[in-house]
Amino acid sequence: MPKIDLIKLRCLDPARQRTFYTDILGMDDRGDGAVTYGAAEAGIKFENSVHSYQPSSRDTYWKVALAVPNIELAYEQLTAKGVEVGVPRQFQDVGYLTHFQDPEGFTIELIEHWFKGNRPATQYDTSRLGGGACLNLLTLRTSDIAPIREECLAWGMAPLSVQDVKGYGFTLHFFAFTDDTPPNPDLTAVENREWLYQRPYTVLEIQEVHEAGEMVLPDMAAAGYAGTEFTSMPQPFRNAQLLISGKTL
């Protein structure tokens, strides 16, 4: 089965980025220049750019999310290492989460497997980030979900959740290469959300921004998002052009 295999980000100092993701976030070098938590998940590869990264709310790329069994533990571990992390909070009925930035300004989300107050009394490895992090989400943006949904389904991805974020002007759509099925067949059901953050593989999250105009794909020579690759695909997904226009890659 295909999987989301590689996320490429351009930055000023790839070596410093790799060190942060391995030494601070606990990822491993997978041997091809990328860092990852495990074979089922995507790796992140840092490539060199001559300019610094300047994030924008209109960028195609938004963030990656690390899902953990204990977000308070992750918060304590990161702050102890000098990382500036927001205090975790329950955000609507979306998730128990917080955000921070890596050394080059790329946003990283921490999201717990469970909503605040729902964490079961289970054992996990306290030496690992948050008890054992997974690169759970790759989040990209679009102003029109219809062509994205069509293409994701054509690739063989399964829709896992749809989350209307009230008051923020966007809806979240989640797709993955998996045979797993959500607990509730209604993809808008809140009960599917904790289940989603417990998936041991990387899920594609699309933030459909309403009334935002066209999203901006960075110049391929600039710092920022440089594309995503899938395994076992006849045409690997190499950039985010589809997410802007719906055109065939």
Per-residue pLDDT tens digits of the chain, which is 249 residues long: 899 999 999 999 999 999 999 999 999 999 999 999 999 999 999 999 988 998 888 888 999 999 999 999 999 999 999 999 999 999 999 999 999 999 999 999 999 999 999 999 999 999 999 999 999 999 999 989 999 999 899 989 999 999 999 999 999 999 999 999 999 999 999 999 999 999 999 999 999 999 766 665 555 567 899 889 888 765 544 444 443 333 322
pLDDT of 233 reads 62
pLDDT of 201 reads 98
pLDDT of 243 reads 39
Q: Which domains does the chain have, with CATH numbers?
A: 4-244 (3.10.180.10)
pTM reported for the whole predicted model: 0.91
pLDDT of 207 reads 95
pLDDT of 180 reads 98
Residue 232: Cβ-neighbour burial (10 angstroms; 0-12, 13-18, 19+): exposed
Q: Distance between CA atoms of 187 and 160, rounded to whole angstroms?
A: 6
pLDDT of 222 reads 75
